[in-house]
Amino acid sequence: MYGLILLFIPSVFALLALFSGKSAKSVALAGAVLQLAFTVFAFYSLSSTAEFSFSTPWISSLGISFSLGQDAISLVLVFLTNILVPLIILSSFSGRPYSDNANFYALVLFMQTALIGVFSAMDCFLFYIFWEAALIPVYFIAAIWGGEDHIKITFKFFIYTIFGSLFMLLGIIMLYLQTPAPHSFAFADLANVQISSLVEGTIFGFFLLAFAIKMPIFPLHTWQPDTYTISPTPGTMLLSGIMLKMGIFGIIRWIIPIFPFAFNDWNFWLVTISVVGIIYASIIAIQQKDFKRLVAFSSIAHVGLISAGLFTGTLEGVQGAVIQMFNHGINVVGLFFILEIISQRTNSREIFSLGGIVHTAPKLAICFVIIMLGSVALPLTNGFAGEFLLLLGVYKYNMWLGAVAGLTIILGAVYSLRMYKNVMLGEANQTTQNFKDLTITEMAVLMPICAIVIILGLFPNLILSFTEPVSQQIVSYLAENSYAISGLLK
Amino acid sequence: MISIIILSLLGLFCMMSGLFKPSTKFIVGLSIGVILGCGTLFLTHWDNFYLIPAWDLDITYYNDMAFFDNYAISFSILLSLIVATVFSLSEYHFNQFKNYHTEHIALFIFALIGMIIMVSFDHLAMLFVGIEIMSIPLYILAGVNRKDTNSNESSIKYFLMGAFASGLLLMGMTLIYGETSSFHLDLIADYIQTNPAAVGSPILAIGVLLVFAGMLFKVSAFPFHFWTPDVYQGAPTLVTTFMSTSVKVAGFAAFFRLFYNCFLDLDGIWSDSLAIISILTITVGGVTAVFQNSMKRLLAFSSISHAGYLLITLLVANDLSSGSTILYYGATYAFASIAAFAVIMVVENYSKSDTVDSFNGLAKSNPLLAFVMTVAMLSLAGIPITGGFFAKFYILSSAIEADYYWIAVIAIINAIIGVYYYFKVIIAMYFKEQNATSAFPISIFYSTILAILVLVIILLGVFPDVVYSLF
């Protein structure tokens, strides 16, 4: 039942925001904060995650039910969504073309509804509906308020993702027809279905295509840098902070339980591709002059490491993937917001045309350095626990791949620190000498992010111990290829 | 049945009432009311001055010539609804064609009667009569814009091609009669079942293929689709709306009724060609639509592509659930198309152009129109939670269930192409610089109908069971 309320709050506030004109931003913020408060309340007042679940028949002739449920991993992502959306709304409060636009806030909240739906759907058909529904708002945000050449770039993004999801739809239907009659889309029925290895491999490929495009995994990433760069910053935050987690989550929730054999057959190649992607994206990131583009490529590298760890199917890899999904969401949103502040005040995104901001904006510099260190995984920041576990997982899986993947730490430090040095340090020039420090609103966005970076750096077990039982189940399930469905939801 | 009589009387009345110059509002309002009433009356049977519910009764009329089972009743009601909606959007049409409203409305009503006969026939002669009653008024209506050469071209092209197709159809029926010595669907089906030799009979095979080709023409499938874009573009937009929605639905309903009831055992003759034709129809329609700049042409090619999807249901037909798919697909396609054409009629009326560019920036000047168009385009493209998504879903799942994986994959690829050209319109409306600075004045009635259409498209997508599980 609680799952239904979590869907209900943002959708209602989205409609309210749509019709509240100038005060839309306050309505939207109130809705997002209420949603966060309710999530925290639900989390502490419930004895088990099973109490989040809700199910009612929807289209009975097709065996589709409106069925929601949470396990520890999806709860982490629900938390991530509900923490980030209020921050994203707050970050767009002033000085942007969309700051006073009711449609914008309604789209963000509709997006939140769809994301919560993706993370809680326990019916594959419902999952698909939410999956598609999440695309429309972010496409409109990016295309209406986007930068140069936005029509072409966002359309490419749209067609790319629709391409993946329609093939996933094909896979879903094929899987559905394999369930005993009367057919069903329920997670439990799909996971128990008996299929030949050829069919399993094919459907696995269709699902993986959709998830890999969303994440994106090399070589399906070509839509991502352009889209991240031209999108307005809230759009980029939604895309990179939350939306790409849909793909990783899809692998954990749908691919592993339903296609364990195919997953085990293919995981060496998938880990290898992911590792190649890490190195490829890091090297390109080093050569970027536009800092938004640099972070876009660094995001590909980070996601590559997450997927590499996840595909190994080791406990360290899966646990690392879960905590790093959360950390990456927090860090990348913080980074994009800081870059937005800088580019808004200087009208420039060129790394080499800036410098010396630290002299006039010490608060910004401190927030920037904390979030950046979190993103390069310095010990005692949140990124460290995640990347360490991921690298350990890859190393245990294959020593050589682990060694290559380890380069990400060095390369990540190179491009991040170089960006920091050129943008913040050195002599101030004409564009940066009158740089104003953070306003109260901006502080209100960045302080929680910095706090999470440090707290999770000191106590990663807050998340790790919570998700460990589920991760352990996933790993042992992959090892045995038999799966106790009831166990997952506990 | 009684509805057909009332509708005929209505048509005659409208035609005659031209003598007294009644107002447009009166004639249109009367027709909408009567058509909706007749739509309801399809649910009843006239039994010695009592009206009894006809659902599940399977009544035959006129010596087994017409057969009102649940299938025929559902389609008749759907067609009445579509025509009533088209009439309610006729404002701009009759502003252009003042003083001709009685004749135009009468012709539309006659076409509706033809379509109702097409979905309820039980006899090949009845099918032919239905098709002709439907087509002849449309030949005239396509050319009502007498001073416009495009409209003349549209009419003459439609007439010549349509007459040719009717000839094929008639020739095929004769050959079928020659082999089976009957025009009744049941008797033909019995003959084919009891005489295994009939399957190999060349006369029957040629007859079936000729009928097949005639029907493909009526639903504008590849390679008989060349008339569609020119006719749709040249005809007045209201006539195009009528042709691309109700005619297509009626054509498919008749096509399915004929082949499902009669020629299922002969599928060796037509199923392979149908598989190829359906794929080519989807692809040719979709790929050509990408290059269109006129909205009417774009929707014409998209309607060809949709016809291809519907052909898949014929291909995989093995029980009446394929009929449900056609009903559901027809309903979602028709209402989404009507919504799109309704917006086009407004834009065309004020900007005198129907190119995609004339929609630039519509979202800023006319948010309602842009929103209606967006919902229509999303539904035609098959994006959830609109009706079009479930329509595609039913088709895909029936194709996969029948092991036509390759057709499903090609259909998916074409769905992506579809997204491409439907989103061209959305992009023009929302993301391009506007060229109309002021809002187009729209009457409250017109915008109410638009709002209802949006609601219907979305409700069909949220509760598809309501329509899909009818029979």
Distance from CA of A14 to the nearest CA of B (A): 17
Q: Give the Cα separation of B206 and A76 in Å (integer).
A: 66
Query: Which residues does chain B have within 8 Å of residue A143's beta carbon, measured at their own beta carbons?
Result: 427, 430-431
Q: What is the structure's pLDDT at B177? A: 92
Q: What is the structure's pLDDT at B279? A: 93
Q: Say if residue A353's pLDDT is above 60.
A: yes
Is B409 in contact with A170 (Cβ distance < 8 A)?
A: yes
Query: What does each C-alpha distance from A187 to A192, A290, A383, A484 come to in angstroms?
Result: 9, 43, 32, 12
Amino acid at B195: N
Is A150 in contact with B431 (Cβ distance < 8 A)?
A: yes
Of all residues in chain B, the one with the smallest CA distance to A166 is: B412
Is A166 in contact with B423 (Cβ distance < 8 A)?
A: no
Q: Give the Cα separation of B311 and A138 in Å (integer).
A: 35
Q: What is the structure's pLDDT at B210? A: 93
For chain B, which residues score pLDDT lower than 70? 435-437
Name the band, by pLDDT with cuts 50, 70 and 90, for residue A484: very low
Is B469 in contact with A61 (Cβ distance < 8 A)?
A: yes
Is B431 in contact with A151 (Cβ distance < 8 A)?
A: yes
Of all residues in chain A, the one with the smallest CA distance to B465 is: A59
Q: Say if residue A344's pLDDT is above 90.
A: no
CB nearest A170 (choices: B384, B396, B430): B396
Is B469 in contact with A129 (Cβ distance < 8 A)?
A: no
- Does the beta carbon of A159 lie under 8 angstroms from any beta carbon of chain B? yes
Name the band, by pLDDT with cuts 50, 70 and 90, for residue A488: very low
Distance from CA of B121 to the nearest CA of A (A): 29
Of all residues in chain A, the one with the smallest CA distance to B383 is: A132
CB nearest A162 (choices: B409, B416, B464): B416
Q: What is the structure's pLDDT at A108? A: 92
What tokens does B246 get? Answer: 């109700």
Query: Which residues does chain B have within 8 Å of residue A174's beta carbon, measured at their own beta carbons?
Result: 400
Is A143 in contact with B431 (Cβ distance < 8 A)?
A: yes
Q: Say if residue A148's pLDDT is above 70.
A: yes
Is A144 in contact with B419 (Cβ distance < 8 A)?
A: no
Handedness of CA B265, B169, B118, B339 (dihedral sign): positive
Q: Say if residue A431's pLDDT is above 80.
A: no
Rg for chain A, CA atoms, rounded: 21
Q: Say if residue A487's pLDDT is above 50.
A: no
Q: Work out how many CB contacts closer than 8 A connect A with B.
A: 58
Q: What is the structure's pLDDT at B437? A: 66
- Does the beta carbon of A199 lie under 8 angstroms from any beta carbon of chain B? no
Q: Where are the domains of chain A?
A: 273-490
Vertex B236, ends B232 and B241: CA angle to 5°? 60
Give the pLDDT mean for A172-177: 90
Chain A interface disruption, residue of B309, B397, B462, most A CBs within 10 A: B397
Is A59 in contact with B465 (Cβ distance < 8 A)?
A: yes
Q: What percent of chain A has pLDDT over 70?
A: 97
Give the closest residue to B30 by CA, choosing from B45, B46, B9.
Answer: B9
Q: What is the structure's pLDDT at A483? A: 41
Query: Which residues does chain A have within 8 Å of residue B396's beta carbon, measured at their own beta carbons?
Result: 169-170, 173
Of all residues in chain B, the one with the smallest CA distance to A139 is: B427
CB nearest A173 (choices: B397, B427, B464): B397
Q: Under a CB-based contact definition with an 8 Å cutoff, are residues A223 and A157 in contact?
A: yes
CB nearest A133 (choices: B384, B396, B463): B384
Of all residues in chain A, the one with the smallest CA distance to B378 is: A136
Q: What is the structure's pLDDT at A321? A: 93
What tokens does A213 get? Answer: 């495009």
Is A128 in contact with B384 (Cβ distance < 8 A)?
A: yes
Q: Give the Cα separation of A377 and A396 in Å (integer).
A: 20
- Does the beta carbon of A56 lie under 8 angstroms from any beta carbon of chain B? no
Distance from CA of B170 to the nearest CA of A (A): 40
Is B412 in contact with A170 (Cβ distance < 8 A)?
A: yes
Which residues of B sit within 8 Å Cβ distance of A?
383-385, 393, 396-397, 400-401, 408-409, 412, 415-416, 419-420, 423, 427, 430-432, 463-465, 468-469
Q: What digits encode the pLDDT tens for the residues A245-301?
A: 999 999 999 998 888 888 888 888 999 999 999 999 999 999 988 888 999 999 999
Q: What digits encode the pLDDT tens for the residues A373-386?
A: 998 888 888 889 88
Distance from CA of B416 to the nearest CA of A (A): 6
Q: What digits encode the pLDDT tens for the residues B313-335?
A: 988 887 777 888 999 999 999 99
Query: What does each C-alpha distance from A208 to A211, A217, A254, B377 come to in angstroms?
Result: 5, 10, 10, 28
Is B416 in contact with A166 (Cβ distance < 8 A)?
A: yes
Is B412 in contact with A155 (Cβ distance < 8 A)?
A: no
ipTM: 0.87
Is B396 in contact with A61 (Cβ distance < 8 A)?
A: no
A 401-440 → B contacts, CB under 8 A: none
Query: Which residues does chain B have within 8 Å of residue A21's beta carbon, measured at their own beta carbons?
Result: none
Q: What is the structure's pLDDT at A486? A: 37
Is B396 in contact with A169 (Cβ distance < 8 A)?
A: yes
pTM score: 0.90
Distance from CA of A379 to the nearest CA of B (A): 45
Q: Give the Cα separation of A271 and A405 in Å (integer).
A: 10
Is B384 in contact with A60 (Cβ distance < 8 A)?
A: no
Q: Under a CB-based contact definition with an 8 Å cutoff, are residues A233 and A97 in contact?
A: no
Is B412 in contact with A173 (Cβ distance < 8 A)?
A: no
Name the band, by pLDDT with cuts 50, 70 and 90, for residue A439: confident
Distance from CA of A121 to the nearest CA of B (A): 16
Domain encompassing residue B132: 2-468
Query: Which residues does chain A have within 8 Å of residue B465's beta carbon, measured at their own beta carbons?
Result: 59-62
Query: What does each C-alpha distance from A132 to A13, A116, A167, B267, B354 come to in angstroms?
Result: 21, 13, 12, 38, 30
CB nearest A173 (choices: B396, B416, B468): B396
Q: Under a CB-based contact definition with an 8 Å cutoff, are residues A36 and A78 in contact?
A: no
Q: What is the structure's pLDDT at A428? A: 79
